[in-house]
Structure formats: structure tokens, C-alpha cells
Amino acid sequence: MSTCPCGSGLTLENCCGPIIHDGKPAPSAEALMRSRYTAHVLGVYEYLNTSMHPSVRGQDTVDDIEQWSSKIEWKGLEILSTSAGAEGDTVGEVEFVARYDLAGVPQQLNELAEFRKEGDYWFYVDGKVRGHETVRREAPKVGRNEPCPCGSGKKFKKCCG
């Protein structure tokens, strides 16, 4: 028995496996979030599509999801917070950080994900990426053909550019 990739410490068979492979309803928004991360790790792209709310399901095809996710080496999931999303709720939010390598470069996705429950099933609705602030320059942009600001005397494009 293998440990579940979601980081719960449980085995896959006692955690996300039944939700992904057997269609068992996730008991909470957090459980659905964990199962979606695990589906990325395992490459179960159809589940990632069917666990999206029907109102947003057509935005990304299974092939789109696979094309993006298959290039990634997933490294871990950390749940930062949850708001509502328990068994008796119909909406919930889960903030998480998913760590991964893309082309050998460490990355992380910090997202506040929204979930909705309909009947017995939780669905992923949308997410807001956190921590990506717009870069604002303090100094004017240096043109390619201008002298390099390092003082070498070379053009910027031939030196530090």
C-alpha cells in the first residue's frame, strides 16, 4: 500500500483512491481538493474534468488538462486554510500551495479555490492565484542598444542584457 500523494499520511486506498477511482463522493471541499491534487500526480485527467462544476467544465478539455499537468513533476501539497466546505455546507474555500518542478525549475502554485456542493458531490468552481504581484520597475528600462548600466562600456545587449 502506498501513501496518498495528497500528504494526508493515509494510504491511497484509505484516502483519495476511492474518490478518484470508484466515484465515492468527497466528504468535504478539502477532501475534493486533495483528490484533485492526487489525480494530477497519478495522471487521472478525466477525473480532473468531471470534478469541475458543470458551469465551468467546458473551459478546459481533458486534453488541455493533460497537456499542462503531464509536463509537471508534482512535489507536494500543503493546505493553508479552509473556510466552510464541511459535510453540511454547500460552498467552501480551500487555500493551498502545490509545489512542483517544471523543466527542472522549482515552482509553486498558491491558490484560493472555491468549491460548491450539489447533491452528495463537491465540485471545483474557480480559483484565485495568490502571490503573483505585478513587477514594477524602479529605474527606467534600459534599451538593447544603450550603454550597459554596469559601466563596462559595451551595449546592454552584448553585456548584461
Q: What is Dmax (Cα atoms) for the chain? A: 69
Instruction: Write out pLDDT tens, residues 76-105.
Output: 999 999 999 998 999 999 999 999 999 999
Read off φ and ψ for residue 91, nearest 5 degrees: -135, 160
Where the chain has pLDDT below 70, the residues are: 132-139
C-alpha cell at 64: 488541455
- Scanning the chain, the segments in alpha helix (DSSP H) are 17-21, 29-42, 45-50, 62-69
pLDDT for 132 equals: 61
C-alpha cell at 36: 484533485
CA angle at residue 43 from 46 to 116, to 5 degrees?
Answer: 50
Question: Is the pTM above the cut of 0.85?
Answer: no
Residue-range domains of the chain with CATH: 12-133 (3.10.450.50)
pLDDT for 133 equals: 55
What 6-11 contacts at long range (C-beta under 8 Å, 24+ apart), as own/partner pairs, is 6/34, 6/35, 6/37, 6/38, 6/77, 7/34, 7/76, 7/77, 7/78, 8/34
pLDDT for 154 equals: 84
H or E element at residue 112 = strand 105-118
pLDDT for 151 equals: 79
pLDDT for 144 equals: 75
| Residue 72 exposure: Cα atoms within 13 Å on the Cβ side | 22
